[in-house]
Amino acid sequence: MSGKSVVVTGGFGALGRATVRAFLEAGWRVAAVDLGEAPEGTPDGVLAIGGVDLADLDSARAAMDKAAGAHGGLHALVNVAGGFRWQTLEDGDLSGWSALHRMNVTTAATASKAALPALKASGAGAIVNVAAAAARRAAAGMGAYAASKAGVLRLTESLAEELKDQGVRVNAVLPTIIDTPANRADMPGADFGRWVQPADLAATLLFLASDASRAITGAELLVAGRV
């Protein structure tokens, strides 16, 4: 059992809930930070911190301080918070580009900045960012989303270099399609068994947050399932 402490942003969402479970089962002390209120069925033992806009530095700092205070420090930050919008350039509203940038890049950068003092104090901290396979190659209608997730990769790369000698590792995963209720509703004809299972992706996030991956920083790991 690890006995370490983690903050999972977006911890009330589909992947976030699976991630919270994976860390709990591995013996971590877990705080879930999210925009909305904690959903029914949040597991016992999770410190649920709702109503937090992670694009706002003061709000993010208050949440990280609360988690680190309650759990005796902070060893890992898993940036799951984010979102998706499909829109073509021709028909879509240009505000979608800044909205997705805020939702995906600003939240990850702000949460990371807010968590940094506690992560450095732990002596061996880790940040794991959830980007997307689309960051490498965008399909039609995915420009704004892919650009924002490419921003998450550049953040990962730059922060890994910045923190290389300061005891904090920074890595990212690039999922294709996760098997979530929202995706099943949007793509009812798809073969869900080929998609990435949330528990499998959560296990990868756990690995990248754990000492088992201590030699890895600045990595961008494609998690494709069989898509």
Ligand X SMILES: NC(=O)c1ccc[n+]([C@@H]2O[C@H](COP(=O)([O-])OP(=O)(O)OC[C@H]3O[C@@H](n4cnc5c(N)ncnc54)[C@H](OP(=O)(O)O)[C@@H]3O)[C@@H](O)[C@H]2O)c1
Going from the C-alpha of 153 to that of each of 91, 181, 223, the distances in angstroms are: 27, 26, 14
- The yes or no reply on residue 53 touching ligand X (CB under 6 A) is yes
Measured from the CB of residue 167, what is the shortest distance to ligand X in angstroms?
26
Measured from the CB of residue 153, what is the shortest distance to ligand X in angstroms?
12
* Cβ proximity to ligand X, 62 vs 124, nearer residue: 62
Contact 105, 98 (CB under 8 A): no
Is 145 assigned a catalytic role? yes
* Cβ proximity to ligand X, 180 vs 197, nearer residue: 180
User: Concatenated DSSP letters for 156-186?
Assistant: HHHHHHHTTTTTEEEEEEEES-B--HHHHHH
Length of the chain: 227
- The yes or no reply on residue 172 touching ligand X (CB under 6 A) is no
Among 8, 52, 105, 206, binds ligand X (CB under 6 A): 52
The answer for 225, left when phi > 0, alpha when psi is -120 to 50, beta otherwise, is left
Of residues 87-146, those binding ligand X (CB under 6 A): 103, 107, 130, 132
CA distance linking residue 47 with residue 155, whole number of Å: 27
Residues lying near ligand X in the complex (CB under 6 A): 10, 12-16, 34-36, 52-55, 80-84, 103, 107, 130, 132, 175, 177-178, 180, 183
Q: Which residues are catalytic?
A: 145
